[in-house]
Amino acid sequence: MTAPTQDPTRTTSAPQPPDDGARGAWRLVMQREIVTKAMNKAFVVGLLVSLGVIAALAAFFTWQGNRVDTSTVAVSGGDTAAVAAVTSAADLARAEGGNDEIEVLEVADDASAQAAVEDGDADAWLQTGTDGGWMLSAQGEPDGTLTRFVGTAVEQQTVAANAEAAGTSVAELSAGAELSTQALDADAMGEQAMFFATFALSFLFFAGALTSGNMIASSVVEEKQSRLVEIIATAVPLRQLLAGKILGSSVIAIGQNLLFAGVGLIAVAASPISIALPALSTSLIWFVVFFAIGFLALAALYAVAGALASRAEDLQYTSTPMTFLVMGVYFLTFTASGTFLTVLSYVPIANVVAMPARVLSGDATWWEPVVSLLILAGFAAVALLVSERAFRGSLLQTGGRISWRQALRSPS
Amino acid sequence: MAGSDLVSGGRLRREADPAGSALRGIRPWPVLPRLGAMSTLEVRDLTRTFGDLRAVDGVSFAARDGMLTGFVGSNGAGKTSTMRMMMGVLAITSGEVLLDGAPVTRADRRTFGYMPEERGLYPKQPALDQLVYLARLRGIPAAQARTEAMDHLERLGLGERAKDHVEKLSLGNQQRVQITAALMGRPRALILDEPFSGLDPSAVDDMVDLLREHTARGVPVLFSSHQLDLVERLCERLVILRGGRVVADGTPADLQSTGTVRHRLVLGGDAGWVRGVPGVHAVDVDGTTALVELVDDAAAQRLLASALERGTVHELSPVRPSLAQIYREVTS
């Protein structure tokens, strides 16, 4: 073979050894993917809106958690039993130390009490019933917390009266029936907090995978549709192009998730469940690591979805399997529990959410996430290899949608 | 840099034209000594099949240094497939692509300028940015790419719009950006698929001026086109494809001399009688003017003698066939 001739006036690049002049091209591609995305107004606005929504939700829950909820209960001044019951209900609420407060509003008679509820001066009206029972009335259904406190107070008062009538006392009657509670793991989260945390992980995965996945698919098809890919293909190996695109969109996806997770953690730190912060942080770190590996596989598969399409309109067809995969993982992981969740925590892609969720609940021993991560890495390696071949096999084919089978069989 | 490379390549070597020998009695193009990067891009027996269809069937020709070579043929004749194989974008079924006699490598192709058909650009990126990006992918340093892109854009009257998103430019201006992308970094060869489609005449002239600069430094330029008048005006050489095969290859003058030469006869009186002269085929008679094909020189003498017998002869002259006419002849 003759040496490539060089133009004497050409001062651009040194003579290149054959076929390796483009080894670092993935960096240029990656850089372009990131810069274009970061300069994209729609993306930036969407990101800011999402961050705003997360911050607003966190602020709302914090406010909700800290705010004092005062319920006013009207009683007729003549109904001494009711006055006593509401007063002790208020004591109960105060003793519990929650955010609920009960106030007594004494009025002249039953009619005034009813009027007070109707006018909105009181939230409810307690009266002793004619047939020996009690009645708590409100405009609609009485508030659950209020009903609980008033119910307990009424019960205690009645039991005390009945006990006295029977010649005994409440203390005697309830001796040995005390149930105490104790938290063995001070960091463990309540069931509801767990559900929300798992949901948040599923959602982070869903939003990150779907938006960044579609981003890489549409960036591939954009180049394919405009034939820029033919110019690029003559300049650099397609493998370099794919690598740059996968890494570029991964940086965006992971960066976005880190931002979301960061804002979420700050919100949690400021909220009443800040006690869960250490557990949540550990779980989130695992999540980010799992997501980073899992997204490499997803990004590669999404890139193929882009390469199989010929026009942007084809994307919704070629990316359908990916959409199902991501949605499936989303729904399965935030609804799963028990053995099913344990199984999912080892299934590639589903484990991106399921394993960190198990770490969060304290259910997973230390080696479990490690093994699961290795399985995920193996899957990602296979996905990358297969995708690379399908990408090369389909990217330069024009005219209509291409199937995975055609893409994998194609010589180039 | 790399001065020793300059003569070691096959650039200065001149061989008998292997492609030309297969072609219809066309003289080899005279080889002129030139300075600068000269290379010849050649295809030999290039074939591509799609299933049972032989889209490109044993195509051989050469795009020589410093020449604009026009690549002509109807839709589906195999032009685009040939160009895509030359650029390594489409897999070759058989045959080869040679640069200065050696098989073309990926490293060679990195230095080619290419305009694919039905092309576009990144709609939401400034023109300058994407020119720099595409140039850097080809190994041109960023600073140089930027300077060169700005120079080109300014020359094409787009200096003010360099930072505009491409989607905001008119189609003609987008095309100017596209050709700039192909011309960046002093390419060693240019392969342009329909570079002039959809351009107004002044834009065509701008682009031709640019291309001439590259041919002047010895770069072979191969471009396909449907506009035969344009090809006739611009090209030093012409390759006509039909059904995946080369049906003509040569300079426009060569091709015109191989086409059927006709004669125009203008008389003082009615020319209807020429239809009866032996050896004369009247293609068209309109009043005092006749367009005829003559079997030989004797027929010409007979025709002229008869005409003089009958009265005044204003004109008897050969009519060079237009390229469009030759194209119709070779592709029909």
Q: Taking CA atoms, what residue in A is nearest to B111? A: A235
Closest CB to B3: pick one of A8, A19, A25.
A8
What's the distance, CA A73 to chain centroid? Answer: 39
Give Cα separations from A39 to A45, A50, A92, A300, B159 (angstroms): 10, 17, 57, 23, 22
Instruction: Answer for the pair B45, B62: CB distance below 8 angstroms, yes or no.
Output: no
Residues A281 and A383 in one domain: yes
Distance from C-alpha of A138 to C-alpha of A164, rounded to nearest angstrom: 32
Q: Residue A79 sits in a domain of what CATH number? A: 3.40.190.10
Close Cβ partners of A188 (under 8 Å, ≥ 6 residues apart): A279, A362
Beta-carbon-side half-sphere exposure of residue A288 (alpha carbons within 13 Å) = 16
Per-10-residue mean pLDDT for chain B, 332 residues long? 35 38 40 55 93 92 91 90 94 93 91 91 92 93 94 90 92 90 92 89 86 90 88 88 90 77 87 86 88 86 89 87 78 76
Instruction: Answer for the pair A61, A31: CB distance below 8 angstroms, yes or no.
Output: no
Look at residue A19 and tell me if it is in a domain. no
Close Cβ partners of A236 (under 8 Å, ≥ 6 residues apart): A22, A25, A29, B110, B137
Distance from C-alpha of A79 to C-alpha of B38, rounded to nearest angstrom: 111
Q: In chain B, which residues have their Cβ closer than 8 Å to the Cβ of A32?
A: 133
| Residues A235, B134: C-beta atoms closer than 8 Å | yes
Residues A51 and A114 in one domain: no
Residues B72 and B158 in one domain: yes
| Residues A14, B90: C-beta atoms closer than 8 Å | no
pLDDT of A272 reads 67
Residues B71 and B97 in one domain: yes
| Residues A230, B116: C-beta atoms closer than 8 Å | yes
pLDDT of A401 reads 87
Last residue of a domain, which of A164, A199, A216?
A164
Distance from C-alpha of B237 to C-alpha of A365, rounded to nearest angstrom: 76
Quote the DSSP letter at residue A185.
Answer: S
- Cβ–Cβ pairs < 8 A, chains A and B: 144
Q: pLDDT (tens digit, 9 = 90+) per residue, A291-348?
A: 999 999 999 999 999 999 998 899 999 999 999 999 999 999 888 888 999 999 999 9
Residues B271 and B188 in one domain: no
Residues B196 and B264 in one domain: no
Residues B319 and B178 in one domain: no
| Residues A5, B10: C-beta atoms closer than 8 Å | yes
Cα of B18 to nearest chain A Cα, Å: 18
Closest CB to B108: pick one of A4, A9, A36.
A4
Look at residue A272 and tell me if it is in a domain. yes
Residues A316 and A370 in one domain: yes
Q: In chain B, which residues have their Cβ closer than 8 Å to the Cβ of A235?
A: 110, 134, 137-139
Cα of B327 to nearest chain A Cα, Å: 29
| Residues A232, B134: C-beta atoms closer than 8 Å | yes
pLDDT of B33 reads 42
Look at residue A179 and tell me if it is in a domain. no
pLDDT of B38 reads 66
Angle value at C-alpha A153, between A151 and A159, nearest 5 degrees = 100
Look at residue A238 and tell me if it is in a domain. yes
Encode chain A (412 residues) as per-residue pLDDT tens digits: 344 444 443 333 434 344 445 778 999 999 999 998 888 888 899 889 988 888 887 777 767 666 677 888 888 888 888 888 888 888 888 877 667 888 888 888 888 888 888 888 888 888 887 677 888 888 888 888 888 888 888 888 888 888 888 888 878 877 877 777 666 655 556 677 777 788 888 888 998 899 899 999 999 999 999 999 999 999 999 999 999 999 999 999 999 989 988 888 887 787 766 777 888 888 889 999 999 999 999 999 999 999 999 988 999 999 999 999 999 999 998 888 889 999 999 999 999 999 999 998 888 888 999 999 999 999 999 999 999 999 988 988 887 888 888 888 876 5
Residues B238 and B263 in one domain: no
pLDDT of A130 reads 65
Q: What is the DSSP string of B123-134?
A: TTSBHHHHHHHH
Phi, psi (rounded to 5 degrees) for B176: -65, -40
Residues A211 and A332 in one domain: yes
Closest CA to A320 of A302, A332, A307, A297: A302
Q: Taking CA atoms, what residue in B is nearest to A226? A: B120
Token couple for A318: 């070629």
Residues B38 and B88 in one domain: yes
Residues B28 and B162 in one domain: yes
Domain that holds residue B315: 259-331
Does A140 contact chain B (CB < 8 Å)? no
pLDDT of A189 reads 60
Q: Residue B135 sits in a domain of what CATH number? A: 3.40.50.300
Closest CB to B116: pick one of A40, A227, A235.
A227
Closest CA to A303 of A381, A248, A373, A379: A248
Residues A117 and A245 in one domain: no
Cα of A226 to nearest chain B Cα, Å: 4
Last residue of a domain, which of B221, B249, B277?
B249
Residues B9 and B122 in one domain: yes
Residues A211 and A283 in one domain: yes
| Residues B217, A10: C-beta atoms closer than 8 Å | no
Q: In chain B, which residues have their Cβ closer than 8 Å to the Cβ of A407?
A: none
| Residues B2, A19: C-beta atoms closer than 8 Å | no
Residues A201 and A114 in one domain: no
Residues B280 and B215 in one domain: no
Is beta strand A124-128 parallel, antiparallel or unpaired with respect to B102-103?
unpaired
B117: number of Cβ within 10 Å = 17
Chain A segment 27-56 residues within 8 A of B by beta carbon are 28-29, 32, 36, 40
Return the percent helix, strand and coil in chain A, to nearest 5.
Answer: 70, 5, 25
Q: In chain A, which residues have their Cβ closer than 8 Å to the Cβ of B2?
A: 6, 14-15
Quote the DSSP letter at residue A362.
Answer: T
Q: Taking CA atoms, what residue in A is nearest to B192? A: A231
Number of domains in chain B: 2
pLDDT of A177 reads 77
Domain that holds residue A93: 69-164
Distance from C-alpha of A241 to C-alpha of A256, rounded to nearest angstrom: 23
| Residues B106, A19: C-beta atoms closer than 8 Å | yes
Distance from C-alpha of B80 to C-alpha of A120, rounded to nearest angstrom: 81
Beta bridge pairs of residue B50: B53
Closest CA to B79 of B92, B68, B70: B70
Three-class SS of A212-249: HHHHHHHHHHHHHHCCHHHHHHHHCCHHHHHHHHHHHH
Distance from C-alpha of B199 to C-alpha of B232, rounded to nearest angstrom: 17
Residues A322 and A288 in one domain: yes
Does A13 contact chain B (CB < 8 Å)? yes
Cα of B187 to nearest chain A Cα, Å: 9
Cα of B148 to nearest chain A Cα, Å: 11
Q: Print burial letters for B29-41: b (CB count within 10 Å at least 16), e (below 16).
A: beeeeeebbbbbb
Distance from C-alpha of A123 to C-alpha of A89, rounded to nearest angstrom: 14
Residues A345 and A266 in one domain: yes
Closest CA to B19 of B245, B331, B252, B249: B249
Residues A158 and A229 in one domain: no
Number of domains in chain A: 2
Token couple for A62: 């914090």
Look at residue A114 and tell me if it is in a domain. yes
Residues B90 and B171 in one domain: yes
Residues A47 and A147 in one domain: no
| Residues A5, B101: C-beta atoms closer than 8 Å | no
Q: Residue B316 sits in a domain of what CATH number? A: 3.30.70
Return the percent helix, strand and coil in chain B, to nearest 5.
Answer: 35, 25, 35
Look at residue B254 and tell me if it is in a domain. no
Quote the DSSP letter at residue B160.
Answer: G
Q: In chain A, which residues have their Cβ closer than 8 Å to the Cβ of B111?
A: 4
Residues B143 and B213 in one domain: yes
Residues A298 and A150 in one domain: no
Q: How high is the ipTM of this complex?
A: 0.78
Last residue of a domain, which of B195, B224, B249?
B249
Last residue of a domain, which of B188, B223, B249?
B249
pLDDT of B323 reads 77
| Residues B188, A5: C-beta atoms closer than 8 Å | yes
| Residues B139, A230: C-beta atoms closer than 8 Å | no
pLDDT of B254 reads 81
